Structure 1
Amino acid sequence: MVTLIPNEVTKRFGPLFSQKFLVMVDEQSGRAEILEQCRARGPIEWDAMNRKRAGGAVEGCSVEGTSMVISAKLGRHPVNFGAAAGEIGGQALEAVEVSGDEVITSWAGIAGAGVGVAACLPQAPGVIRAEYPSEEDLKIGGARTNRVRIVSPMYEKICIGIDDTDTKTEGATWVMALKCAGACTIPGVEFLNMRLIQLNPAVPTKTTNCVGSALNFAVRPDKVQALLDFVRAYVEQNTFSKDTGIAYHRGIGFSRDSPAFAEVKQEIMTVDRAEEAAREMGITFIDTNGRKGRIGALGAVLWGNRGIEAAGLYGEHL
């Protein structure tokens, strides 16, 4: 086996195009999410289609701009791998495995896709080291097949929902949420994205638009409490409202469905019902007042990773 750190990979192959590599793990559900960023959209789109076709540990891929998120299952899985045709992919994710506080992802690629996994990904920020089975796997290009194990820090995924930080005359929850994310500089915490969640506009006690905000973070396990403490303190120090709600979910996706997904967008939900639904879905409130903002905070967490439809009325699609 040949082991190289990212600087050694760059020295060997020259600087390439991967700009970020990050793996989040939910061991309880046996799932992982892999975030990659590239300098250009084309390689990301090609990789996503080929990895999905190849199967293995990949369950799904989504692309936004020059970034890709892979939904994966933990463990080692057989792949359909070879030159791109039919049911075969030119690039594959063979395994996602946890080792202590590290994650090992195993990759295979042929021809240009081999350059991607052997030379490009291993030099991305976020990689600790790359392990090549043999020197042959370091010969890239042409019709060769390359394999590599990429080792990176293990992160968890945290979704935090915030609502009711404004009044009829002051504030905007989405503005505070984004400022909060920008102010968070805790080592081991990576801000992923923010989403605005349209809640039921018929709620009589809303301010104006009835919109909650979700913040998604990748977090090293030993930094989870520090993140939650920071967000709670920031929001409660800067809110204009006495009804602010803050909730969070730790993990990748939910293990079950719930009527609450529709209720927060279609019905007049009570705080008691929001708290009941939160218990059912493994969502925890961390605000200190237990007021009506918990309803929107729950909705933000429920919809915080469900795509662009989160921003629409229930049933709306682009």
Structure 2
Amino acid sequence: MKDNSYARKKWVVPYKNIIAVCDGDGWVEIVEQSNCFGGACWSEYHYKRTSPLIVSTKIFSNSIRYMTRVGTSELDLVPSLAAAGIESVVVDDETVAITYAGLGGGGVGATMSRSLAEDVIDYDISEAGGSRKSRGTIIVPRRKRVLIGVDDTDTKEEGATWSLMHNIATDVDNKNARYISHSIVQLYPVPQKTQNCTSTVVEFACIDETKLVRDFGRLLAKHTLSEETGMVVLQNFDAEMLKDYGMLCKQKQVSRETTLRNARNAGADILMDGRGIIGAMASLPYFGNPSQSVIL
């Protein structure tokens, strides 16, 4: 007798995680963290061709990020050309329901592979594989985006802000606050720099941001080597309002007064107010874009 459970283990590659970040105004960014990057790239190609709900996609490390509208759209699946996609994105007070559909291997990915992702709360899937059309809905926590920018944690003798930020972010990553990106931001080389004049922004997808901010701040205060450390926090779906300020800090030295004005306008919270707040603020608009943030 055929052991179907064993067979399924062999032809299902679970996703590491699937994260839904909401803005509360009809937009959801779905971050799919894959254990098989080749499979993720196949999905990205077909999904953006097939799904009217998808506005844009971005490949980021082992992840594919889908910017989507909330809603439902029937998919016209075509083998080889448009074989899988996202049918619906439904947002509730605490959860997001994402429905996928696909043909063949795309159907396996749409159902079992995604239902096994780490933070999936519940799922409803059809049979998958072969030539059939398959459909699956997963329920994941509704999350909000939290950006933490930091600068000036090192000295000329020791330390590196980018590595400290990554290690702290890794330490505080949990089901409540998922660490999803890290960008090193090259700034204008001011006289006060320690060496390369960079700041760092880390991005989290949070259910409750209070504990994240408290724990991150505590670890940063414990491990920073500088008395001029700046830490800023922005709880917002994007950081477009700081784009001009971030570019300005790549072009010339910027004053503390200009920084504080931009912080107020953006609604950013200053948690550590040393000289590093200038670079910390400048890092925020470069979240999730590390290949561009390193350019002066």
Same fold per TM (> 0.5)?
yes
User: C-alpha separation between the residues in 2 aligned to 1:283 and 1:91?
Assistant: 39
CA drift at 1:217? 1.6
Deviates more, 1:27-36 or 1:261-270: 27-36
1:143 to 126, 131, 152: 131
Local SS of the residue matching 2:16: strand
1:43 to 39, 42, 50: 39
**Where do 1:99-178 residues align within 5 Å?**
99-132=92-125, 137-138=126-127, 140-178=128-166
Partner of 1:5 in structure 2?
A: none
User: C-alpha separation between the residues in 1 aligned to 2:44 and 2:5?
Assistant: 23
Aligned CA distance change for structure 1 residues 65 and 236 (closer, same or farther; 3 Å):
closer
CA drift at 1:12? 9.0
Q: Tell me if structure 1 keeps the 8 A contact 2:98–2:138.
A: yes
TM-superposition CA deviations, 1:4-24 (whole Å, max 9, x none): xxxxx9789436212323223
**Where do 1:175-194 residues align within 5 Å?**
175-184=163-172, 187-194=175-182
Stretches of structure 2 that go unaligned for 5 or more consecutive residues are none
Code of the residue aligned with 2:122 in structure 1: it is R
Stretches of structure 1 that go unaligned for 5 or more consecutive residues are 1-8, 314-318
Partner of 1:240 in structure 2?
A: 225
Whether 2:185 is the aligned partner of 1:197: answer yes
Partner of 1:76 in structure 2?
A: 72
Aligned CA distance change for structure 1 residues 255 and 57 (closer, same or farther; 3 Å):
farther
Q: Tell me if structure 2 keeps the 8 A contact 1:246–1:294.
A: yes
Local SS of the residue matching 2:89: strand
TM-score between both structures, scaled by the size of structure 1 = 0.83
Whether 2:255 is the aligned partner of 1:260: answer no
Q: Tell me if structure 2 keeps the 8 A contact 1:278–1:298.
A: yes
Q: Tell me if structure 1 keeps the 8 A contact 2:246–2:281.
A: no
Local SS of the residue matching 1:286: strand
Divergent runs of 4+, >6 A: 9-12
Aligned CA distance change for structure 1 residues 65 and 272 (closer, same or farther; 3 Å):
closer
Local SS of the residue matching 2:196: coil
User: C-alpha separation between the residues in 1 aligned to 2:267 and 2:226?
Assistant: 26
User: C-alpha separation between the residues in 2 aligned to 1:141 and 1:114?
Assistant: 6
Partner of 1:279 in structure 2?
A: 264
CA drift at 1:235? 1.3
TM-score between both structures, scaled by the size of structure 2 = 0.89
TM-superposition CA deviations, 1:214-253 (whole Å, max 9, x none): 1122221x3x111101111211222222211101222332
Aligned length: 292
Partner of 2:254 in structure 1?
A: 269
1:309 to 280, 286, 292: 292
Whether 2:33 is the aligned partner of 1:27: answer no
Query: How much is the aligned-residue C-alpha RMSD, in angstroms?
Result: 2.3
CA drift at 1:198? 0.7
CA drift at 1:166? 1.7
2:50 to 51, 54, 73: 54
Code of the residue aligned with 1:161 in structure 2: it is G
User: C-alpha separation between the residues in 1 aligned to 2:284 and 2:16?
Assistant: 25
Partner of 1:217 in structure 2?
A: 204
User: C-alpha separation between the residues in 1 aligned to 2:23 and 2:295?
Assistant: 32
Code of the residue aligned with 2:117 in structure 1: it is A
Aligned CA distance change for structure 1 residues 258 and 189 (closer, same or farther; 3 Å):
closer
Deviates more, 1:272-281 or 1:27-36: 27-36
TM-superposition CA deviations, 1:138-162 (whole Å, max 9, x none): 2x22321112211112222211111
